């Protein structure tokens, strides 16, 4: 009965016998046991960190805190008794947490904090969105991880697919959180196998695939690229907004928008430009361990390891580079960065996006992002037949040409403009 006490076997037997015959009171014994446990906690804590009285009169100590770089944090109370009560409650809470069944919900905060360090805060922010969308409050998130088997989690995945009408792409995004979180559980030795990664064979008919985008939404077709560039030049003459020239330049470089706004004047030679950095969003973590965006910074890395590349400057690229440099010179700007706002500060990706949105309206085309400029440029290069697949892959900054071919090759003419080509290809009666 009293196995929690630090007593010999004979002493425990004697106490149990006394309780049995009503010689001593159980409530009194339990109270004494609690006092002894509290005393033991305080003695063990003293080995970790002693209590001291600071110059302000308060009593202070340090308790373990894995979130701090030192592994400790200071606690202060006005009287020693209150501080001792806090210490006792703190350690009992930690013990209770260890004894509780580990759930995905309980593991999530420390896993997300780990992912912010392991990858980036930007990635942790994306994972946070997926978690909040699909997992928060769900049955799977609140189950003991050790009790989840492959069938249980697969059935839950199927319910989520049906509830949210997920496409295969969205399903993979949702499942990736379970994959990574349970990887973490394996590494923490909470479970021996990641059941999420054992889930295979989801029937393709279960997914709700979104309608495929029209070509007119994927690239600038026919004369749209020429029209947008001309409109951008007119808009620049009227507003002196450097983002207009940035868009013109990018029709020759096909850069990701983060790469575009991170260009420096020293990246350029007479005939080439070096791409080796990008702008990324920055985030902070609030008191509830939630990630929030709070600005931008320059990363010395591109999106992938193949993103670092050297590009040829076409005549058009040289033309718009010269216009940008002339603008900066006339404005008296001295920044190392190429694309600057009216105050001489580096522009951000939203500056480019805002201007592009306005220009799309002016030429009366569907709204297309800077990424569509990138796709348009690469599609033109592929259709020209002037460069090898390897040269195109390097230009795009991809690890393999299959990626370029699958996601960046689109016809740049409308169906009407392709009519003659179809007629020639399909006119069997005229073939000899």
Nearest to 337 by CA among 260, 269, 226, 389: 260
169 shares its domain with 245: no
Residue-wise pLDDT tens digits, 314-366? 999 999 999 999 999 999 999 999 999 999 999 999 999 999 999 999 999 99
The predicted structure's pLDDT at residue 347: 97
252 shares its domain with 368: yes
Task: With beta carbons less than 8 A apart as the criterion, state whether 61 and 83 touch.
Answer: yes
Give pTM, 2 decimals: 0.70
Tens digit of each residue's pLDDT, the chain (432 residues): 344 444 555 556 655 666 566 665 666 766 777 888 889 999 999 999 999 999 999 999 999 887 788 888 999 999 999 999 999 998 888 776 666 658 999 999 999 999 999 999 999 999 999 999 999 999 999 999 999 999 999 999 999 999 999 999 999 999 999 999 999 999 988 899 999 999 999 999 999 998 888 888 899 998 999 999 999 999 999 999 999 999 999 999 999 999 999 999 999 999 999 999 999 999 998 888 788 989 999 999 999 888 999 999 999 999 999 999 999 999 999 999 999 999 999 999 999 999 999 999 999 999 999 999 999 999 999 999 999 999 999 999 999 999 998 888 888 877 777 677 767 777 766 655
86 shares its domain with 113: no
35 shares its domain with 164: no
111 shares its domain with 243: no
What are the strands, taking DSSP E only, across 184-277?
A: 272-275
Q: Give a yes or no: residue 1 inside a domain.
A: no
The predicted structure's pLDDT at residue 14: 59
Q: Where is the domain boundary, 97, 123, 153?
A: 97
Task: With beta carbons less than 8 A apart as the criterion, state whether 294 and 282 touch.
Answer: yes
Q: Give a yes or no: residue 186 inside a domain.
A: yes
Q: Where is the domain boundary, 206, 237, 255?
A: 206
312 shares its domain with 359: yes
The predicted structure's pLDDT at residue 358: 97
108 shares its domain with 93: no
Q: Give a yes or no: residue 171 inside a domain.
A: yes
156 shares its domain with 230: no
| Domain count within the chain | 3
Q: Where is the domain boundary, 36, 69, 97?
A: 97
169 shares its domain with 93: no
The predicted structure's pLDDT at residue 340: 97
148 shares its domain with 194: yes
Q: What is the dihedral of CA 32, 33, 35, 38, to 10 degrees?
A: 180
Instruction: Please report where in the chains the tokens 């689109």 appear, as a residue.
Output: 410
The predicted structure's pLDDT at residue 5: 45
Q: Measured between alpha carbons, how far is residue 364 from residues 80, 352, 357, 371, 374 in Å?
A: 73, 18, 11, 18, 20
Q: Give a yes or no: residue 256 inside a domain.
A: yes
Q: What is the CATH number of the domain that holds 137?
A: 1.10.150.130
The predicted structure's pLDDT at residue 1: 39
Domain ranges, residue 47? 9-97
91 shares its domain with 113: no
Q: What is the CATH number of the domain that holds 236?
A: 1.10.443.10
Q: Give a yes or no: residue 218 inside a domain.
A: no
For 292, the 3-state DSSP assignment is: strand
Q: Give a yes or no: residue 214 inside a domain.
A: no
Q: Give a yes or no: residue 430 inside a domain.
A: no
260 shares its domain with 396: yes
Alpha-carbon distance 176 to 92, whole Å?
35
């Amino acid at each position: 009965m009293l196995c929690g006490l630090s007593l010999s076997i004979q002493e425990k037997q004697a106490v149990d016998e006394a309780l049995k015959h009503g010689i001593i009171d159980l409530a009194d014994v339990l109270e004494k046991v609690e006092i002894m446990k509290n005393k033991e906690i305080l003695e063990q804590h003293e080995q970790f960190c002693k209590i001291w009285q600071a110059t302000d009169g308060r009593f202070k100590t340090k308790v373990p805190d894995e979130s701090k770089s030192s592994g400790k944090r200071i606690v202060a109370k006005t009287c020693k008794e209150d501080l001792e009560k806090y210490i006792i409650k703190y350690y009992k809470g930690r013990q209770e947490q260890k004894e509780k069944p580990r759930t995905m919900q309980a593991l999530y905060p420390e896993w997300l904090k780990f992912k912010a360090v392991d990858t980036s805060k930007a990635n942790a922010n994306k994972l946070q969105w997926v978690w909040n969308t699909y997992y928060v409050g769900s049955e799977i998130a609140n189950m003991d991880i050790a009790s989840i088997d492959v069938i249980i989690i697969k059935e839950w995945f199927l319910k989520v697919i049906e509830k949210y009408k997920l496409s295969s792409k969205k399903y993979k995004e949702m499942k990736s959180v379970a994959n990574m979180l349970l990887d973490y559980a394996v590494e923490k030795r909470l479970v021996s196998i990641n059941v999420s990664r054992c889930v295979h064979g989801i029937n393709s008919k279960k997914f709700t695939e979104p309608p495929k985008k029209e070509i007119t939404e994927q690239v600038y077709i026919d004369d749209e690229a020429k029209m947008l560039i001309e409109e951008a030049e007119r808009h620049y003459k009227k507003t002196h907004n450097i983002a207009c020239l940035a868009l013109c330049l990018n029709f020759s470089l096909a850069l990701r928008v983060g790469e575009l706004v991170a260009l420096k004047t020293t990246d350029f030679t007479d005939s080439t430009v070096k791409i080796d950095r990008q702008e990324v969003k920055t985030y902070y973590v609030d008191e509830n361990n939630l990630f929030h965006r709070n600005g931008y910074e320059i990363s010395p890395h591109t999106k992938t390891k193949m993103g670092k590349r050297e590009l040829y400057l076409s005549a058009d690229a040289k033309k718009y580079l010269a216009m940008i440099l002339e603008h900066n010179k006339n404005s008296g700007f001295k920044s190392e960065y190429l694309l600057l706002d009216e105050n001489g500060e580096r522009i951000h990706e939203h500056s480019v996006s805002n201007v592009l949105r306005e220009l799309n309206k002016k030429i009366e085309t569907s709204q297309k992002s800077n990424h569509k400029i990138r796709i348009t440029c690469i599609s033109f290069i592929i259709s020209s037949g002037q460069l090898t697949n390897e040269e195109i892959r390097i230009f795009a900054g991809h690890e393999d040409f299959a990626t370029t071919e699958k996601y960046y090759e689109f016809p740049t003419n409308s169906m009407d403009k392709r009519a003659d080509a179809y007629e020639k290809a399909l006119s069997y009666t005229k073939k000899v």
